Structures are given as C-alpha cells and as structure tokens.
A and B are shown apart, each in its own frame.
Chain A
Amino acid sequence: MTARTRQLAERMIEHALWACAGLSILVTIGIVGVLAWETAAFLAEVSPLAFLTGRTWTPLFYNQSFGVLPIVAGTVLVATIAMLVAVPAGLTSALYLSEYASPQVRRVAKPALELLAGVPTVVYGYFALLVVTPWLRTWIPGLAGFNALAPGLVMGLMILPLVASLSDDACTAVPRSLREGAFALGATRLQAARGVVLPAAMSGISAAVVLAISRAIGETMIVAIAAGQQPRLTANPLVPIETMTTYIVQVSRGDVPTGTLEYRTIFAVGMLLFVGTFTLNVGSDWLRRRMPGGRR
C-alpha cells in the first residue's frame, strides 16, 4: 500500500469512527423526533391546556377525556413513596459507608448494593405483587390487591443503591483535611459528618437524589405488575392507580391502530415522561458539576 492510499484509508477510518459517534446523536434525534411527531399530531386534536391540566384520563372511552393529571399523579405518588424509603435509608447507608465503615465492610457492602441494583425490575414486580402486598394486608386490612404502597416500597428498595452509591462517592470526594480539621477541634464522626461532610458533599448528594427521582418516574415493570390500571387523581396509596408508564404498556398490549388519536396518546404521554426525566437528568448533571473535585 502506498503512502497515499494508506493516508486515504486512515482518513476514511477516522470518518467512519466519528460516524459511529454521531450515531448516538441520531438516537437522541430519533427519540425526540418520533415522540415529537406523534405528539404534534395529538396536540392538533387535543388542546395542550386540556392535556396538561385536565383531571380525567379516559382517552379510550365514551366520555373521551385527555386530561393527563391522573396518571401523572399516579406516577408522582409511587415515586414519592419510593423516595421516602430510598433517600433516608440511602443517605444513612452512604454516611455509614464513607465515615464509619472499615475497608472490609466496604468491600462486602458495595458489591452487595450493586447486586440489589442489578436485579431485573420484573423480579421486583413479582415481589411487590405476590409478597409485599399480602404481607401489608396483615397490617392494613383494607388494602386493595393493586395499590401504590407496595410497588412504592419495593421501588424504594431498588433505588436505594443508586442513592447510597452516588452519595457515598460524593462524601468520599470531600477532602480528608476538612474532616481532620473537625476532628482536631474535638468533633465526633457524626458531628464531622453533619457539620462538614454533608454540607460539602451536598451538591453531589442532591445530584444523586434528583437522578433517583428520575429513575423512579421512568420505572415501568414494578408498577405495571402491582399498581393497577385505574387512572385516578388521588393521594391515597391503598387503592389501584395507573402511572404513565403503565398506561403506555396497557395500550401497547392491545392493538390500537396506527395513526389514530388513541395510538398517539402513548407518544404524548411518552413525550411528557421524556421531558420530565430529561429535565431531571440535566439538573442532576448540573448539580454534580458543582461538587468539590470538579467533574466526575
């Protein structure tokens, strides 16, 4: 091969490789494109105000109503319960791991937490429906078979490793010198943690929490199996509800013909979900950049 052909080949390879990198941009364009296309067609027939502020979601029924609030409320309810479990427990675990735990404990605990995060969500759904709900029934007799509490608790367990792991990273990134300064002044580990480490790691921790919320909102299988399929605007965790992700699954399992308004509802809901999680992810990223130690 002459030098010229070799150079040409090198350039072509470089272009091909950048094309591969560019493909990832195409994926994002694809996602936004598909969602936006169908959502635009949807919004041509349903006013955005009615969609975003309406309180009845019966797009498939006689009284067709496209108010998305009930399923958003369902998503928020389950996510809130999940966060009420994951954030305190995750943060406590993170502080324990970064400030108290011996290296041996860390060596066992961190992979174990990874394991918790690696369990497929359909397995957690099994757990929520067939183990947690009956168990909760013994304490709360009026609990319906489908409810928001069981999947919320299980989702909290699933998200806990995310909160713990990222918060732990944030805490260990705090320079040793800050802690030692506190110890030199006579602080206990807890006082140092509360007074020095937590404030210093706060941006990293908030990044973790925001990312966890995003994860909770986008979760599908746990709620599709255990939360029910009844859209309703309620804060009651003991009754069947429907989340945005369950609605998408419900309609996909049927055969709604392409191009109809009903078909477009899943993309409109998907768009809402995407915008929500995207905003949270960007927010989390921005918070993380403010962490001591700079970019991860």
Chain B
Amino acid sequence: MRACLLPMACGLALLSALPLAGACARAAGPLRAVISVDGSSTVYPLTEAMAEQFQRVAPGARVTIGIAGTGGGLRRLCRGGLDLAAASRPITGGEADACASADVSFIELPIALDGITVAVHPSNHWVRHLTVDDLRRLWRHQAEGRMMRWSQLRAEYPDREIHLFGAGVGSGTFDYFTSVVTGAPRDSRGDYTSSEDDNTLVQGVAGDPYALGYFGFAYYEAHQEHLRAVPIQAGDGTPAVLPTRETIRSGAYRPLARPVFLYVNARSLDRDDVRHFVDYYTTHVGDLANDVGYVPLDGRVLAAVRGRLAARRTGSLYDGHDGAATLTLAARLGVESR
C-alpha cells in the first residue's frame, strides 16, 4: 500500500502544477508540431480529403482540422494561433487589419469553386425555381417573424410553415449569401436553424417536407438522393439555373457561385511540414476537387495561384470587398480568360 503514496503525491502535485503546466505548454508548443487548420465547414470536406491523402505520403505529418466557421478561422489566424484558415469568402478589410496589427501576414490562395445550393425536400413539388428577389424577401432581417409561411412567398405555394435552415453567423457562406442576396453583409433574419456545420443543415432539410436551406454544393452532391436543388434565377432576364459543375465553372450559376480560399500564415511556411502540405494541397486540389464535390479551378488560374504561393505574395486580391464584385477571379489574378 506504500505504493499508493507516489501516485497520490503525483496527483496532488499535478493539480497544484496546472498553472505551471499551462505556462510550459504554451512555451514549448505541442511535443510534435501540428499543422493546424480551421475555418469554413463548407471547405472542410476538401481539406479533410487533402489531409488524408497527405498523411499517406508524409506519414509523420499531423494535421488537425476544426470547423469554427470562416469568421472563427480567420480570427484565429489573425491572433497568430493557426497555420491555415479555410474560408468560403474573401478576407474582409477589418480582418486583414487585425492580422496586420498582430503582425501576421497571410497568403491568399483560391483553391476551388463552390456554388451555394438552395435545397428543399424531395417531396416539395411546388417550388419550380426561385429568383434572387424571392430569396431576399425570405431571408432579409425584415422577414424575421413575418415571412413564416410558404404562401407568403408566392400565393400559389401551400399555406404551411416554412422551416428554414441556413449558415451560422461565423460562416463564410453566411457572409457571402447575405451580401449577394440581401445586399448587405450579415443582413439576415435570425429565426431559423443556424449552424456553422453544414451537416446539420443537410440533416434538417432532408428530414422535413417543408424545409428550405442553403449550404455548399459538396454537401448537396453527397446527399442528392435526400435533397432537391432549386434552380436560381439571377433576375436579369436569364433563365433559372440549377447548380451543376458546368454552371458553377462557367459562372452561369449566378450569383451563388464563388471561389473558396485557403489563407496561409506566412510565418508558418517557414516550417517544412506546413510548406510541404500547402504545396501538396495546391498541386493536387485540381484532381481531388471533383471527387469531393467541388469544381476545380481552371488550369491556368491554378497555375497563377501556385505562382503566388511560390512568390510568397501576401495580401488579398479583393481589397476587403466581398466576393460579389464584378471582377472574376481570373481577371484579378491577371490571367486571360477564354
């Protein structure tokens, strides 16, 4: 029983040493370096697939991925606590300033294209298509508590409650959707099921005949048998367009198609494992994107992106504007578009 003395003493010592442990942990960092990625849940499937492949070719590497949302990921990046932030919208001016004041410089890497898909339950037969104006009337902040039934959207729809599912406020999808649909970033009603985790949204829509939700194309494609995508009409006379790889790539699926990004902490690139991973990511994303439900960037655009990485070009292509501005990604990168 004397053997109990040692563990007991250790336990007590441990408890009183917690503050010390914290200080040591902060000083030393994890015992073996971890490539930390966090941010958009929309981009998560792509990064997860990349990390899995990468850890097969580089067995010692350790990658962790969180889904705090685009806003959360960029905040962590600009606190200096993250290697890579995945984002489904460009970094804003305010976030870039925060990075600057924390002495963190980032390299912006567009990696693929995604189309925000508006989905309903397969048994929903009344919605043929929706215009951007419909979406605006449904999702703007004035709709909160008022626009509650399908028949209020269009008179011919059934007089039943709409159950809405959409991105959470930390999500880049939320920021992008609100700025293109309601016209002002973050201008959205609050009385819906909001989640930074797109899985929850798919579950919600797939389980509810009166549901409508919006989330990334990859999540729609992975569960198509349980969902129905709604064609979106941009409102400028063009016909309603269903989100498919072709329409997202060509830009016909307007305005909900957008690039997704990886923001790399420039200082982290000094580490071999991070550099190796980001290299691997930008090299193979073209092949893997299709597999996971994303639309790969055009070959020359991707080459220009890799050029930015090689040159360690910091700063954003978007100057803090939201991604809905008129210049295409190719134009911003200086690549001639076909």
Question: Which B residues are in CB contact (< 8 Å) with A231?
Answer: 191
Q: Mark A200-213, 1 if CB is under 8 A from B, else 0.
A: 00000000000000
Chain A positions within 8 Å of B, measured between CB atoms, are 16, 56, 58, 60-63, 65, 133, 142, 144-146, 228-232, 239-240, 250, 253-257
CA distance A133 to B206 in the complex (A): 13
Question: Which A residues are in CB contact (< 8 Å) with B161?
Answer: 239
CA distance A12 to B82 in the complex (A): 47
Minimum CB–CB distance from A135 to chain B (whole Å) comes to 13
Q: Are A61 and B141 in contact (CB under 8 A)?
A: yes
Name the 3 nearest CB pairs between A and B, nearest first: A145-B207, A255-B72, A58-B190
Categorize the interface residue count of chain B. Answer: 35 or more
* Given A146-B204, A229-B193: A255 touches B170 (CB 8 Å cut-off): yes
CA distance A230 to B189 in the complex (A): 12
Q: Are A254 and B193 in contact (CB under 8 A)?
A: no
CA distance A63 to B204 in the complex (A): 24
Which residues between 172 and 194 of chain B lie within 8 Å of chain A, taking CB atoms?
186-194
Question: Which A residues are in CB contact (< 8 Å) with B187?
Answer: 62
Residue in B69, B71, B193, B196 whose beta carbon sits within 8 Å of that of A240 in the complex: B193
Q: Number of contacts between A and B (CB, 8 Å)?
A: 93
Minimum CB–CB distance from A148 to chain B (whole Å) comes to 13
Question: Which A residues are in CB contact (< 8 Å) with B196?
Answer: 253-254
Q: Are B170 and A63 in contact (CB under 8 A)?
A: no
Question: Which B residues are in CB contact (< 8 Å) with A254?
Answer: 68-69, 72, 168, 170, 196
CA distance A240 to B163 in the complex (A): 8
Question: Which B residues are in CB contact (< 8 Å) with A62?
Answer: 141, 186-190
CA distance A229 to B193 in the complex (A): 5
Q: Are B190 and A229 in contact (CB under 8 A)?
A: no
Question: Which B residues are in CB contact (< 8 Å) with A230?
Answer: 163-164, 191-194
* Given A144-B163, A255-B170: A63 touches B193 (CB 8 Å cut-off): no
Asked whether B211 is an interface residue with its Cβ less than 8 Å from the other chain, the reply is yes
Residue in A56, A58, A253 whose beta carbon sits within 8 Å of that of B197 in the complex: A253
Q: Are A255 and B195 in contact (CB under 8 A)?
A: no
Minimum CB–CB distance from B308 to chain A (whole Å) comes to 27
Asked whether B208 is an interface residue with its Cβ less than 8 Å from the other chain, the reply is yes
Asked whether B296 is an interface residue with its Cβ less than 8 Å from the other chain, the reply is no
* Given A145-B203, A253-B197: A61 touches B170 (CB 8 Å cut-off): no
* Given A255-B38, A255-B75: A63 touches B144 (CB 8 Å cut-off): yes
Q: Mark B150-175, 1 if CB is under 8 A from A, else 0.
A: 00000000000101100011100000
Q: Are B145 and A56 in contact (CB under 8 A)?
A: yes
Question: Which B residues are in CB contact (< 8 Å) with A146?
Answer: 193, 203-204, 207-208
Residue in A61, A133, A240 whose beta carbon sits within 8 Å of that of B188 in the complex: A61
- Residue of B whose beta carbon sits closest to that of A16: B12
Asked whether B200 is an interface residue with its Cβ less than 8 Å from the other chain, the reply is yes
Question: Which A residues are in CB contact (< 8 Å) with B211?
Answer: 144-145
Asked whether B76 is an interface residue with its Cβ less than 8 Å from the other chain, the reply is yes
Asked whether B90 is an interface residue with its Cβ less than 8 Å from the other chain, the reply is no
Which residues between 185 and 239 of chain B lie within 8 Å of chain A, taking CB atoms?
186-197, 200, 203-204, 206-211
30 contacts between A and B (CB under 8 A): A16-B12, A56-B144, A56-B190, A56-B191, A58-B144, A60-B168, A61-B169, A61-B188, A62-B187, A62-B188, A62-B190, A144-B210, A144-B211, A145-B203, A145-B211, A146-B203, A229-B193, A230-B164, A230-B191, A230-B192, A232-B191, A239-B163, A240-B204, A250-B168, A253-B196, A254-B72, A254-B170, A255-B38, A255-B66, A255-B73
